[in-house]
Amino acid sequence: MVRLDAAGFRLLQVSDEALMREILRDTSRVYRKASLMRRLGAITGEGLLINDGELWKRHRRLANPALAAGSLPRYVPAMYAAVARTCAHWRGACADTPVDLVTELSHTTLVSLLDSIFGMRDDAQMLGGRVTRVSGVIHALLDELVRHGSALAAPPLSWPTPGNLRFRRRIAEANAILDDIIARRREVLTETEVAPDLLGQWLQQRRRDPGHFSAGEMRDELMTMLIAGHHSLAIALAWAVYHLALDADLQAAVQAEVDAVPDLPQTPEDLPQLPLARGVLLEALRLYPQPPILLREATADHSLGGYRIRAGDQLLLSIPALHHDPRHWPQPQRFDPRRFTDFSTDGMMQAHHLGFGGGPRSCIGRRFALLEGVLVLAGVLRAFRLRTVISDATPVPPRFAGMLVPSAPLLVRVQAR
């Protein structure tokens, strides 16, 4: 535990696993999402990433069914379409031009998420207009967050600084796009269709139950899902594919596993058939957790493992500290997906992996992310051989920018198999 007093905050960095469990699970009622996340709240409103207490309980209960295991097969066609689009793009690219994994896989996960969330499959709609608009605004907002996120003394959003005004304009633009998408979806949605998208399901539930998400709450949650679900998965996948390109033997082993199954996974129950591919994703999240730091704020004075925590203290839980502990992860710097052969993703915190957080606030999109992540890896490996641009003995190191992003582009050459 390290304490730093800065900009009017008492910041406590927590690197001890038992303390992390206490904060996230055992005494989670004492700890809410941190004030340091307030800028995020300007984008996601009362959405799940930052709300607390009774409001959080209600939102989590209402959001859950559409992301539960039984609902995931509805989104698989969207995932397939996104990975097929990526493969077609790579096939068309010149063999000598390296692929920038973060850029490419960001597009894959965003296209898939927009389709799963809003049902935006149609090509003209996707490429011609709204995907580009939504993607542009989301990326701009994420950039703003990263720029200001680490600035503890950032001016309050109500101050009319040029940065704040730009930020607020972008939020207004994003909200207008989402309002438009919700209104159009509501118009065409029938009561009897099996909605393949999250928004369609929520709108149908709202028609049946007036206590379900209102239009404003839906907008906050849709924005939350886009912010929470897109970048994290894209960067994790980029690291995963990059490590496969670095290690030809590992790549061949995952390819053999993928070639042995007749189809790409369709449901979470299919994932055990691809234990190595799933391990590659989990190992990428161990070495590069997204986000690497979880933020909480104490709501009351509390004795945490003997440390005196004061109400208002900001706690920064360091996931890399846990994920590099050699007692749990022998040779922690090594990329070794075989660690996860017998790993259950149901009790990840008990198994020292906080890649999806822990306790009641753990990731609601975990099953979605695992299914899509494995599906993308399998789809790409089935179609291509990958190699890095230079035979680098030392992988590109990560750098902290809200997420653990690569400090240089992750470039690979792809060759059709």
Window 279-298: contact mask with ligand HEM (x via CB under 6 A): ------x----x---x----
Window 18-37: contact mask with ligand HEM (x via CB under 6 A): --------------------
d(CA 23, CA 381): 39
> What is the DSSP secondary structure assignment for residue 181, as one 8-state letter?
H
Where residue 293 falls (left for φ over 0; alpha for ψ -120 to 50; beta otherwise) is beta
Q: How far is the CB of 417 from ligand HEM (least distance, A)?
A: 26
Q: How far is the CB of 285 from ligand HEM (least distance, A)?
A: 6
Stretch of residues binding ligand HEM (CB under 6 A), selected from 121-129, 150-158, 271-279, 361-369: 361-369
d(CA 147, CA 209): 41
Where residue 45 falls (left for φ over 0; alpha for ψ -120 to 50; beta otherwise) is left
The DSSP string of 75-116 is GHHHHHHHHHHHHHHHHHS-TTSPEEHHHHHHHHHHHHHHHH
Binding of residue 242 to ligand HEM (CB under 6 A): no
Indicate the residue whose CB is closest to ligand HEM: 365
Closest by CA to 359, choosing from 129, 74, 56, is 56
Q: How far is the CB of 199 from ligand HEM (least distance, A)?
A: 12
Q: In the window 213-232, what residues touch ligand HEM (CB under 6 A)?
A: 224-225, 228-229, 232
- The correct pick among 40, 218, 236, 254 for binding ligand HEM (CB under 6 A) is 236
Name the burial class of residue 212, with classes exposed (0-12), middle (13-18) and buried (19+) by CB atoms within 10 angstroms of its CB: middle
Measured from the CB atom, the residue of 296 and 339 that comes closer to ligand HEM is: 296
Q: How far is the CB of 269 from ligand HEM (least distance, A)?
A: 19
Measured from the CB atom, the residue of 223 and 386 that comes closer to ligand HEM is: 223
- The correct pick among 361, 379, 388, 402 for binding ligand HEM (CB under 6 A) is 361
Q: How far is the CB of 296 from ligand HEM (least distance, A)?
A: 7
Distances (CA, A) of 56 to 37, 39, 99: 15, 18, 40
Q: In the window 114-173, what residues touch ligand HEM (CB under 6 A)?
A: none
Stretch of residues binding ligand HEM (CB under 6 A), selected from 77-85, 363-371, 392-400, 406-414: 363-371
Name the burial class of residue 92, with classes exposed (0-12), middle (13-18) and buried (19+) by CB atoms within 10 angstroms of its CB: exposed
Residues linked to residue 298 through DSSP beta bridges, in sequence order: 31
Measured from the CB atom, the residue of 64 and 333 that comes closer to ligand HEM is: 64
d(CA 160, CA 210): 38
Binding of residue 14 to ligand HEM (CB under 6 A): no
Sequence-ordered list of residues with C-beta below 8 angstroms from that of 236, at least 6 positions apart, any chain:
281, 284, 285, 288, 290, 369, 373
d(CA 39, CA 141): 10
Measured from the CB atom, the residue of 93 and 321 that comes closer to ligand HEM is: 321
Window 174-213: contact mask with ligand HEM (x via CB under 6 A): ----------------------------------------
Q: How far is the CB of 186 from ligand HEM (least distance, A)?
A: 21
Binding of residue 233 to ligand HEM (CB under 6 A): yes
Size of the site for ligand HEM (CB under 6 A): 23
Stretch of residues binding ligand HEM (CB under 6 A), selected from 2-10, 73-81, 119-127, 365-373: 365-373
The pair of structure tokens assigned to 51 is: 């709300």
Binding of residue 49 to ligand HEM (CB under 6 A): yes
- The correct pick among 265, 355, 402, 406 for binding ligand HEM (CB under 6 A) is 355
Longest dimension (CA), the chain: 60
Q: How far is the CB of 44 from ligand HEM (least distance, A)?
A: 9
Asked if residues 238 and 325 have their Cβ atoms less than 8 Å apart, the reply is no
d(CA 34, CA 246): 38
Binding site for ligand HEM (CB under 6 A): 48-49, 60, 224-225, 228-229, 232-233, 236, 285, 290, 294, 355-357, 361-365, 368-369
